[in-house]
Amino acid sequence: MTLQTVAFIGTGIMGKPMARNLLHAGYPVRAWNRSATKAQELSAQGAEVFDTPALAADGAQVLICMLSDGPTCDDVLFGENGAARALAPGALVVVMSSIPVETAVEHARLSAALGLRYLDAPVSGGERGARDASLAIMVGGEEAAFEQGRDVLAAMGRPVHVGPAGTGELSKLVNQLIVASTIAAVAEGLLLAERGGADPSKVHEALMGGFVDSPIWRQHGQRMLTNDFTPGGPAKWQLKDTRTALAHAQKLGLTLPVGLRVDGLFQSMVDAGDGELDHAGLIRQLRRHNSLPE
């Protein structure tokens, strides 16, 4: 069986290992990244690298977009020389970035006008999940579009079709609110253990296997213990997503008090100059709040 050719737009922290897994699965990959050197690193694994998104998309059956935010996706995909315009009718556009629900719905409309199919398919699992092809992939769009892209998505993780266009992004907002709140709770718990006289690393070990245990407890808790905040998910993007989630909740007539408080903590972290750090670095902001050494 001939595998579909994939154009991969955005080969940064997450995109590069995702594209690499597609190559390992045998998919022909045509790559583009704004910082060209990040895309060039994939050429050794067999990717073709192009100077513009449109050139990368030309001839592809599936276009995957893994860019930073909604406006960037709008411009790169549907701008005057947008990559989506270089696709043949019937091709599939898959936006795996975290973007507003309304943006995904508009993308689906624009794709249909070009004779294309569309999926919004944001991911969770961080850089490790991207490397290990174990990402949770939340997919919104038509069933036929999902079937068209299922195998491509499965090469990067575990895709689940959750509903029509926009619901993949809605699922990601749910994910990001829970992630942000859990990171804050883990940071508070480890600070409490430390201040109370326990060895935080032993508390971290003792709670594994219980109800507290989770990837965030294991991975981000360990980051907090070792002060390793090399960004897998930068705090500035966590803040972007919580803001988007709260704005959407407001449109639905919901007030989310825990989300509002956690969003404020991440805003304080970014304001303090830690926006480029991993979101586990929130513990530094809690230390500052309590006048403790960072």
The reply to whether the predicted model has a pTM over 0.85 is yes
Residue 165 confidence (pLDDT) above 90:
yes
Which domain, by its residues, includes 198?
170-289
Assess if residue 176 is contained within a domain.
yes
pLDDT digits (tens, 9 = 90+) for 273-282: 999 999 999 9
Whole-angstrom Cα distance, residue 116 to residue 9?
17
pLDDT digits (tens, 9 = 90+) for 38-97: 888 899 999 999 999 999 999 999 999 999 889 999 999 999 999 999 999 999 999 999
Give the pLDDT score at 156: 98
Query: Do both 223 and 206 map to the same domain?
Result: yes
- Supply the angle between the helices 167-196 and 257-269 in degrees, to the nearest 10: 70
- pLDDT over 80 at 1, yes or no: no
Confidence of residue 2 (pLDDT cuts 50, 70, 90): confident
Residue 20 has pLDDT above 90, yes or no: yes
Region 219-245 average pLDDT: 93
Confidence of residue 14 (pLDDT cuts 50, 70, 90): very high
Average pLDDT (181-199) is 98
pLDDT band for position 233 (cuts 50, 70, 90) = confident
| One domain for residues 150 and 180 | no
pLDDT surpassing 90 at residue 294? no
Last residue of a domain, one of 104, 133, 164: 164
Same domain, 177 and 159: no
Within-domain flag for 294 = no
Domain co-membership, 109 together with 206? no
pLDDT band at 168 (very low <50, low <70, confident <90, very high): very high
From 104, 129, 164, give the residue that closes a domain: 164
Q: What does the pLDDT read at residue 126? A: 87
Catalytic residues: 172
The reported pLDDT for the residue numbered 293 is 87
pLDDT tens digits along 104-146: 999 999 999 999 999 999 999 988 999 999 999 999 999 999 9
The pLDDT, as a whole number, for residue 107 is 97
Angle between helices 167-196 and 282-289 (to 10 degrees): 50
Do 39 and 125 lie in one domain? The reply is yes
Q: Are residues 151 and 198 in the same domain?
A: no
pLDDT (mean) for 149-157: 98
Q: Taking 80 as the threshold, does the pLDDT of residue 10 lie above it?
A: yes
Task: Give the model's pLDDT for residue 38.
Answer: 87
Q: How far apart are CA 41 and CA 118, in angstroms?
A: 28
Q: Which DSSP state fits 271?
A: I
Q: Determine, yes or no, domain membership for 1.
A: no
Residues 195 and 241 in one domain: yes
Question: Is the domain of 119 the same as that of 211?
Answer: no
Does one domain contain both 130 and 179? no
Same domain for 177 and 158 = no
Q: Among residues of the chain, what percentage have pLDDT more than 90?
A: 91
| CATH number, domain with residue 196 | 1.10.1040.10
What percentage of residues in the chain have a pLDDT greater than 70? 100
Alpha-carbon gap, residue 194 to 192, rounded angstroms: 5
Structural domains in the chain (count): 2
Rounded CA-CA distance 165/204 in Å is 40
Cβ neighbours of residue 117 closer than 8 Å, sequence gap 6 or more: 90, 91, 92, 93, 111, 141, 142, 144, 145, 148
Task: Give the mean model confidence (pLDDT) for residues 145-149.
Answer: 98
Q: What is the DSSP string of 204-255?
A: HHHTTTSTT-SHIIIIIHHHHHHT----SSBHHHHHHHHHHHHHHHHHTT--
